[in-house]
Amino acid sequence: MPGSLDAVFGVHAVRALLSRGDIPKVLWVQEGEAQQRLTELVEQARRGGARVERHPREELDRLAREASHQGIVAFAAPLAFESEASLWFKLEAWPHETPPLLLVLDGVTDVHNFGACLRSADAAGVHGVIVPKDKSAPLSATVRKVACGAAESVPVYQVTNLARALARLKEFGVWITGTAGEAEEMLFDAEFTGPTALVMGAEGKGMRRLTREACDGLVKLPMAGSVSSLNVSVATGICLFEAVRQRRDA
């Protein structure tokens, strides 16, 4: 693998990369049938200046390991977080007919969980993910691999002070809902049809105190089994798709 570059696997991830205008430095394409199937995507990357190389499937399999490469791997510059200023600019210009749906991750430091949360966020149509500068996983190659293209398609905003950022979100009319096992209100009884920021805390510790105090309300998942909590990425998917369900029925 070319040094200092992140490997981006699969058709969706590479297409998302190109749609952002991030042309990969190098593009590996599987020899044979996949090469013909991916012609349009390959030519788009080539026109942008990518160096296209053909490799046997065994090499792509060895590089991707458990990830699905679908016959294509792009090697691109590491991702960077979106700035806090760009988040406020986006909200100031927000189209009022579409209420924003934001995901806030407080203290999610595991790269696999972070990548899985981004994948759920992309699937649910989340408009942006907000993370604190400290106590957060980086946008690493592993995150991109687990996210399967979501790290390229969902804006991830890094804020200096999360509690202060949540207070600023309220000025834009965004309702802050945190998740906590001791909450009295169930997830399915909460309201997510308006401007919403859903806050997920780290596994075990949950949200930090100042983050919790910044929330307008807290909700919990109904747990019928013997375990007391779910993996944060699983819980994130459930919560986000409850918001999706409500918005579709509204």
Amino acid at the residue 207? M
Distance CA 86, CA 207 (A): 24
Q: Binding site annotation covers 218?
A: no
Tell whether residue 115 is among the known ligand binding residues.
no
79 in a labelled binding site? no
3-state DSSP assignment of residue 230: coil
Per DSSP, which regions of the chain are E strands?
Answer: 6-9, 26-30, 51-55, 72-76, 101-106, 128-132, 156-159, 175-179, 185-186, 196-201, 217-220
* C-alpha distance from residue 36 to each of 25, 46, 109, 144 (Å): 21, 15, 40, 26
Give dist(CA 118, CA 232) in Å, integer: 12
Q: Give the residue numbers of the binding site.
A: 201, 221, 230
Q: Give the residue numbers of the binding site for S-adenosyl-L-methionine.
A: 201, 221, 230
